[in-house]
Structure 1
Amino acid sequence: MTRMIRVLAVIPLLISSGATLAQDAPQAAPKPDTRYAPYPSHNFPNRVFFGDTHVHTSYSTDAGMFGNRLGPDAAYRFAKGEVVTSSTGVKARLKRPLDFLVIADHAENLGLSPMIEESDKRLWASPWGKQVHDLTKAGKAGEAYAMWGEKMTAKEDPLKGIEGLLASMWQRLTKAADAHNTPGLFTALIGYEWTSSPDGSNLHRNVVFRDDKSKADQVVPMSAYDSEDPEDLWRWMANYEKKTGGRVLAIPHNGNLSNGLMFDDVTLTARKPLDRDYAERRSKWEPLYEVTQIKGDGETHPLLSPDDEFADFETWDRGSFAAAKEPDMLPREYAREALKRGLVYEKKLGASPFRFGMIGSSDTHTSLATTDEDNFFGKATAVEPTADPIRFEEKITGYLPDPKGRDYAIRHYEASASGLAAVWARENTREAIWDAMARKEVYATTGSRMLVRVFAGFGFAADDLSRHDFARYGYAEGVPMGGDLKPSDKAPGFLIRAMRDADGANLERIQVIKGWLDADGKARERVYDVAVSGGRKIGSDGRAGKAIGNTVDVANATYDNSIGEPILQAFWKDPDFESDQHAFYYVRVLEIPTPRWTTYDAKYFGVKAPEDVPATIQERAYTSPIWYTP
């Protein structure tokens, strides 16, 4: 103790005698052009944000009048990771919070259910409004909904003329979005759904704003009561931007319920062949396509891609909401075929109407954005988790008789626990997320949060996969997903990296899907395996014929990661490139097999699993294409 006192006593003597400590030494002034940190000049996207652009709350009539009591506030809180009690009394929570959300409630009589719940006296200005209110309050919500359905089918707004009704409900939604929007932490994008359904065919679009409440409130949403023609929606969007100085885009739903109308060869109303003006307007206002959601997967179909063994995935191909499907409708409903036909249009017209990036989202009507197979709250409140047979057997389509008497019903056990939108951006803000969507630097997943990055260019080599500055180099020397390659005599090379969901399954393979126009102008496609797990080899035909295997224990709804790889990567150079041929390339990443949600349900509730859906699935991601134009 005495020695310590002596040492401490020396310190002030050293200081007073002029000894200088290191921290007191003057710092040499850096030169004005000194640069040390490499990052101040970086402005390229460096993070993936996961979200859902398609959530319905009680403000959607087909949700609220079917028992959904959760409004926008609950939907946002759930997306942020909070525990929320569902409308059926079941506690719900996400495994991990989302980064962003779009509440896309139907514009058609937006907020009708909350107005009924609150006994809003403005409803009583309409005899129809008073009647649906009284029926619902008397416990006859089914009859009230049927009355609304008749008006919706006839495209007759039953509340037309009641001043301020739609605007007030819209302003509630925009207020909730602004209240929950926290730049850098969580993004609440303002949006709604325009529900075009000509003759029961699904042409729905989600309209997403870049702006805040002050701009969005300057309009009221255009609804299908105003028009069912997408060209009229685009005009409305153009008028919004002109009036407010804001920005807006639309995202069509997967077209498997459109009965050939989503990617038709003629305009909807005038039935005129598509021209360059149409192509340019559609690609401007609709830069994205929702390729996967609860109502099945819309990448491709086994009849359209017979050489693709992964084409038959969560397939809904029996009809629209009102009629069975004819086989010749399929080419005008699926993303891959539309992208191929877009190449034909581009060569013919100088522009493609079907030049879109790809995202997934849920289309949930429960307010709960659940896309995990073991946490799937279903399409609507009536089919939330339960041992009741309704969970599997409730019809989603097939209520209306088909003109030819065919059974085209699709039941809830065929619903998909899908999907998510993955966005490459630098920050979690409305502006950054929306801008990434507009430039198509996005990808779709069927619910998993795997990380996927793609660059294409003419100077890449295999060694570039190992670069420490992989992303910086990729942007400097090539283009990302959603980009356009310049004409070249050299074949493009692709740098591809994929990493599994941190809480999910290992990866099974990475594939490149190519579409191109041959010498005769015919659209063709080919699937290339570019990275495979499990020590398998890729043959001279570009395919790994052997399957990875399957660790799923169906009876116990479990799997393990003893097969597959947590990370896969590849450098791939197109071996069949022709510099004078239009082409596109997108990447598909597949996980190892895991239990489907119906398998989890069967185990949890002790019920028999449906026999005509698979017990296991392979979750997947689809990137936005990269295009080559000669």
Structure 2
Amino acid sequence: MTIKFVGAILAGASLVALAGCDKKPGEATTSTATATTSSATATAAAYPEHAYFGDTHVHTGWSADAGMDGAVTSPEDAFRFARGDTVKSNTGQDAKLARPLDWMVITDHSDGMGTINEIAAGNPKMISDPFLKRMYEAMKSGDEAQASKVVLELINLQSTGKLPKQVMDPEWMVSAWNKTIAIADKYNDPGKFTALIGYEWTVNAGGGDNLHRNIIYRDDATYAGQMLPLTTFQTQDPEKLWEWMAKYEGKTGGKVIAIPHNGNLSNGRMYEETTFTGGPMTKAYAEARQKWEPLMEVTQIKGQSESHPSLSPNDEFAAWDLWDKVNLNGVPKKPGMIRTEYWREGLKSGMRLESSLGANPFKYGANGATDTHTGLATADDNNFWGKFKTVEPGPDRWNRVVTRPYRGWEQAAAGYTGVWATANTRAALWDAMARKETFATTGPRMTVRFFGGYDFADADAGAGLVKAGYTKGVPMGGDLKPAPAGAAPSFLIAAMKDPDGANLDRVQVVKGWLGADGKTHEQVYDVKWAGDRKPGPNGKLPPVGNTVDLKTATYANSIGAAELVARWTDPAFDPKLKAFYYVRVLEIPTPRWTAYDVVRFKAKMSPEVTMIQQERALTSPIWYDPA
């Protein structure tokens, strides 16, 4: 099965999917990933039967930084695009998803909500301030360098609480928030497309240390409209955010969760082992963080936060989509910061801290999102619209600055979250996120099942896998009971390729544990793989191969497997030690979005530009605690 171009794409034309699929006889042609096939009804199942794919992190032109960059998309444009409509991009090109999403959250920044439109319109109240006047002039000039300079100044002022008082005045937020939540209600279509209400609380501590959180509502506008979003003008302390969330739930009877951003731009602060103000962690702090923040963003346009080669030197797949030089505002990292930026290391630290605190502050499931600032939630490499208007498709976008010092080609076309929910509705999706029954992908809509228990038989890794998983064990995001005497946990794993994408290379289980000496450890196990490969003397599995043709930006599914299913038992289980397990699924090598751009635009790129990748999925962990 070979992936082929379906047509030449020129600048200014519709950038739809550039790849088609030749199906083999008998091969499935429908997908549980698409809105049209997986979301036909809102009726809840007894247990989750479908993975619904969507994006928890989308900015439109209503966000100040996106608007400053020239974005003009509205929340209506963003929802229409996500459900499969053709819309105009910020550069005037036709944009359309090859497959609609099942759901999406618009998370425009709460800081300055409603002000960017007033500045663009030259509201006298706004441009009476010198800085806001420079913003206005930069927007009107169309000068990208001038706009970029003002955006950096904006981040600095916002992180230090020194923005002009006009921007911090909540009068502008009231109208903008009411419009935002009304639009979400308008586009919410239970069973077909779910539009969740949300916003981003944007903490840039210390001049750009990214500690942002996306707030996701379970509710409709009648609930969300009762309280205005929290801003960093009020507080930058996450504990105050959790207090705001508790107040919202107490006042309205509604429900909210927070999803922290990828930690790789936090300069060591995402998993720091103190409170935000530098105080010691307590059990109450750890319990609050675990309650309000069930998921962590592990992949997005600005790189990945799963792990890092310096933290996982024995993991041959740790070096992917690395943004590991600076924080959000270009402040260089200092030695030691990387250790407290990455999810896997955070999961390990959480177990260690739990032993002393009595609660785990870093018990995070997996989330993938785009963080697009174009209003266009694209994570497919053959249809990638970039983070900002200035890096929408064009022959030179690969070399444009995205965030200092990163250039366009370093953007990752990522990611989406797969949610195992009982229906495609706000309540069912939100409930699944809250219980961490989610997996992150770098874009492909592969599906992954992961269950843990003590009573699985080999036969359970067959047609009855899902029923066995729920009746005999716990799903991803769950907790194993203490092991019975002489027993070790086994895991049911099933990974299926994206029906419109690449075959699978392998399925791995990543294990972390807390040793009897109080130190944390990790190991990556190859559990199931395509072909007849055998591990070498070093224990490593040989590569699956590579069919990518860079001259045409195509690949062939002549290697790899359509699905990989296994029952796996931990060979080194110690019932006395805390542990966690999560699954990582790797595709065969495929062209990266840069390779598609070379063919599409005949772009000439530097040798350091990455052209081939192995896309992947990461599940939420299953935890084991002997206590």
- With the length of structure 1 as denominator, give the TM-score of the two structures: 0.88
Q: 1:598·1:610 contact (CA, 8 Å) conserved in 2?
A: no
Of residues 469-478 and 571-580 in structure 1, the stretch that sits farther from structure 2 once superposed is 469-478
- CA deviation after TM superposition for structure 1 residue 326, in Å: 1.9
CA distance in 2, matches of 1:596, 1:527: 25
- CA deviation after TM superposition for structure 1 residue 395, in Å: 2.5
Q: Which residue of 2 aligns with 1:527?
A: 524
CA distance in 2, matches of 1:43, 1:396: 45
CA distance in 2, matches of 1:316, 1:500: 27
Q: Which residue of 2 aligns with 1:453?
A: 449
Within-5 A mapping of 1:412-423: 412-423=408-419
Helix, strand or coil: the match of 2:210?
Answer: coil
Within-5 A mapping of 1:437-516: 437-466=433-462, 468-488=463-483, 489=485, 490-516=487-513
Helix, strand or coil: the match of 2:418?
Answer: strand
CA distance in 2, matches of 1:319, 1:512: 30
CA distance in 2, matches of 1:540, 1:441: 37
CA distance in 1, matches of 2:575, 2:152: 57
Provide structure 1 residue ranges, at least 5 long, that are not aligned to the other structure.
1-39, 399-408
Q: 2:259·2:297 contact (CA, 8 Å) conserved in 1?
A: yes
2:601 paired with 1:605: yes
2:200 paired with 1:197: no
- CA deviation after TM superposition for structure 1 residue 474, in Å: 1.3
CA distance in 2, matches of 1:135, 1:533: 53
Q: Which residue of 2 aligns with 1:28?
A: none
Within-5 A mapping of 1:19-34: none
Aligned CA distance change for structure 1 residues 308 and 213 (closer, same or farther; 3 Å): same
Within-5 A mapping of 1:60-459: 60-118=63-121, 123=126, 132-133=135-136, 136-137=139-140, 142=147, 148-149=154-155, 151-158=157-164, 159=166, 162=169, 164-199=171-206, 200-269=208-277, 271-320=278-327, 321-388=329-396, 391-398=397-404, 409-459=405-455
Structure with bigger gyration radius: 1
Within-5 A mapping of 1:48-59: 48-59=51-62
In structure 1, give the amino acid aligned to 2:472: E
CA distance in 2, matches of 1:146, 1:574: 48
In structure 2, give the amino acid aligned to 1:497: A
Q: 1:532·1:544 contact (CA, 8 Å) conserved in 2?
A: no
CA distance in 2, matches of 1:154, 1:261: 16
Within-5 A mapping of 1:479-628: 479-488=474-483, 489=485, 490-538=487-535, 543-628=539-624
CA distance in 2, matches of 1:316, 1:499: 29
Aligned CA distance change for structure 1 residues 276 and 387 (closer, same or farther; 3 Å): same
Of residues 105-114 and 72-81 in structure 1, the stretch that sits farther from structure 2 once superposed is 105-114
Aligned CA distance change for structure 1 residues 476 and 414 (closer, same or farther; 3 Å): same
Q: Which residue of 1 aligns with 2:30?
A: none
Q: 2:181·2:225 contact (CA, 8 Å) conserved in 1?
A: yes
- CA deviation after TM superposition for structure 1 residue 90, in Å: 1.4
Helix, strand or coil: the match of 2:347?
Answer: helix
CA distance in 2, matches of 1:374, 1:241: 41
1:278-330 Cα deviation digits (max 9, x unpaired): 11111111100000000001100011111110010111111112311123111
- CA deviation after TM superposition for structure 1 residue 96, in Å: 0.3
- CA deviation after TM superposition for structure 1 residue 138, in Å: 6.2
Helix, strand or coil: the match of 1:327?
Answer: coil
Aligned CA distance change for structure 1 residues 513 and 163 (closer, same or farther; 3 Å): closer
CA distance in 2, matches of 1:395, 1:316: 14
- CA deviation after TM superposition for structure 1 residue 396, in Å: 3.1
CA distance in 2, matches of 1:568, 1:130: 58
In structure 1, give the amino acid aligned to 2:57: H
Higher relative CO (Cα under 8 Å, sequence separation at least 6) belongs to 2
- CA deviation after TM superposition for structure 1 residue 81, in Å: 0.6
Q: 2:350·2:360 contact (CA, 8 Å) conserved in 1?
A: yes
Of residues 322-331 and 556-565 in structure 1, the stretch that sits farther from structure 2 once superposed is 322-331
- CA deviation after TM superposition for structure 1 residue 512, in Å: 0.3
CA distance in 2, matches of 1:308, 1:362: 25
Aligned CA distance change for structure 1 residues 294 and 286 (closer, same or farther; 3 Å): same
Aligned CA distance change for structure 1 residues 146 and 419 (closer, same or farther; 3 Å): closer
Aligned CA distance change for structure 1 residues 385 and 278 (closer, same or farther; 3 Å): same
In structure 2, give the amino acid aligned to 1:278: Y
1:385-439 Cα deviation digits (max 9, x unpaired): 1113xx12222333xxxxxxxxxx2222111000001100011000000000000
Q: 1:290·1:361 contact (CA, 8 Å) conserved in 2?
A: yes
Q: 1:599·1:609 contact (CA, 8 Å) conserved in 2?
A: no
Provide structure 2 residue ranges, at least 5 long, that are not aligned to the other structure.
1-42
CA distance in 1, matches of 2:431, 2:555: 38
CA distance in 2, matches of 1:612, 1:133: 37
- CA deviation after TM superposition for structure 1 residue 522, in Å: 1.1
Q: Which residue of 1 aligns with 2:8?
A: none
Q: 1:53·1:102 contact (CA, 8 Å) conserved in 2?
A: yes
CA distance in 1, matches of 2:223, 2:248: 9
Structure 1 runs (4+) deviating above 6 angstroms are 124-128
- With the length of structure 2 as denominator, give the TM-score of the two structures: 0.88
- CA deviation after TM superposition for structure 1 residue 244, in Å: 0.8
Of residues 142-151 and 247-256 in structure 1, the stretch that sits farther from structure 2 once superposed is 142-151
Aligned CA distance change for structure 1 residues 568 and 245 (closer, same or farther; 3 Å): same
CA distance in 2, matches of 1:223, 1:41: 36
In structure 1, give the amino acid aligned to 2:425: T
In structure 2, give the amino acid aligned to 1:164: E
CA distance in 2, matches of 1:572, 1:126: 63
CA distance in 1, matches of 2:128, 2:218: 35
Of residues 160-169 and 242-251 in structure 1, the stretch that sits farther from structure 2 once superposed is 160-169
In structure 1, give the amino acid aligned to 2:410: E
Of residues 95-104 and 532-541 in structure 1, the stretch that sits farther from structure 2 once superposed is 532-541
- Aligned residue pairs total 576
- CA deviation after TM superposition for structure 1 residue 134, in Å: 6.3
Q: 2:586·2:617 contact (CA, 8 Å) conserved in 1?
A: yes
Q: Which residue of 1 aligns with 2:20?
A: none
- CA deviation after TM superposition for structure 1 residue 120, in Å: 5.4
1:76-114 Cα deviation digits (max 9, x unpaired): 000001111111111111110001111011111113232
Q: 2:391·2:402 contact (CA, 8 Å) conserved in 1?
A: no
Q: 1:530·1:538 contact (CA, 8 Å) conserved in 2?
A: no
1:143-184 Cα deviation digits (max 9, x unpaired): 865764553243234215746211111111101100000111
CA distance in 1, matches of 2:44, 2:401: 55
In structure 2, give the amino acid aligned to 1:361: A
- CA deviation after TM superposition for structure 1 residue 503, in Å: 0.4
Helix, strand or coil: the match of 2:512?
Answer: strand
Q: Which residue of 1 aligns with 2:13?
A: none
Q: 2:83·2:193 contact (CA, 8 Å) conserved in 1?
A: yes
